[in-house]
Amino acid sequence: MSATFKSEVRKRLKAAEATGLTAAAKGSLFEQLLVYIFDELPATIVEPGITSSFGTEQVDIAVSNRGAFPSLPNVFLVECKNYRHKLDSKAVGYFLFICLSRKVELAVIVASDGLTGVSAEQTYAKSLAKAASPLGCKLIVLDRDDLLSFTTPDDVVRLLERRYLQAFASGGIGVR
């Protein structure tokens, strides 16, 4: 299974980065990759593309953790951004607002090129995680290199749990 999982992740990532596609198509393929990754975990329920009843807010992926991630909250939200530049504080702030308004304890951003700012200094987009943490929402970030490092679903579990512990213990962000 591990060879299949690893090759499927790489194949889907390559498809999401293909030249000649619109930004919307690349974003959709990137989201489908993350749905695949979370769906491969044995004790999760994954709901992609949920829009609020007023049509004003959209969540890329909602994940119900039914035991796949022993130390993570039961439910968390995932934002997917397949950009060729670092994700800025405006996009991070919008996603954190959605999470905080729903009292979500864990927000996961998967951004191809990561976030703006310096991790150690918690500047720019990374500073918003420090503000959200005392309000009860921990932010963890995965990037393209993290996705490429996955060889089995267990790798996903270990990385998310490590990043969550990092965010929890530091009162900031769980990031490489």
Phi, psi of 71, rounded to the nearest 5 degrees: -100, 5
What type of residue is 81? K
Four-point Cα dihedral 119, 122, 127, 132, nearest 10: 80
The residues near 121 (Cβ < 8 Å, ≥ 6 apart) are: none
Dihedral over Cα of 15, 91, 34, 123: its sign: positive
Rounded mean pLDDT, 57-61: 94
Phi, psi of 121, rounded to the nearest 5 degrees: -95, -10
Report the DSSP beta bridge partners of residue 46: 63
Each residue of 13-28: pLDDT tens digit?
Answer: 999 999 999 999 999 9
pLDDT for 176: 85
pLDDT for 129: 83
Report the DSSP beta bridge partners of residue 63: 46, 76
Under a CB-based contact definition with an 8 Å cutoff, are residues 172 and 129 in contact? yes
Under a CB-based contact definition with an 8 Å cutoff, are residues 12 and 28 in contact? no
Location of structure tokens 């695949």: 36
Task: Name the pLDDT band for 122 (thresholds 50, 70, 90).
Answer: low
Domains of the chain: 2-174 (3.40.1350)
